[in-house]
Amino acid sequence: MLCQVELNREEIDEILYRRHTGSQSGVGQSKWDDRMKANFVGRTGKGSGNSVADEVEARLEQANLLPT
């Protein structure tokens, strides 16, 4: 079993970003769904710009208009 230990949080985030944000010409390995990506990008600031879907969801939630 291969194990990698990192102590630097920025290095860990970079590894997670490469591993889970799509193929990126063979760099990434595991596909995250949209919510997983949004959580990671929201926590780290890495990745593309704001997601329109996430912004719409946040505004609907603030207005108590999301289905229960």
First-to-last alpha carbon distance for the chain, in angstroms, is 43
> pTM for the whole thing?
0.39
For each of the chain's 68 residues, which pLDDT tens digit applies?
A: 688 888 888 888 888 877 776 655 555 566 778 888 778 777 777 766 666 777 788 888 999 998 88
Task: Look at residue 13 in the predicted model and tell me its pLDDT.
Answer: 83
SS3 42: helix
Task: Look at residue 18 in the predicted model and tell me its pLDDT.
Answer: 75
User: In Å, what is the CA distance from 61 to each residue of 53, 54, 64?
Assistant: 12, 10, 5
Domain positions in the chain: 9-62
CB 37 within 8 A of CB 31: no
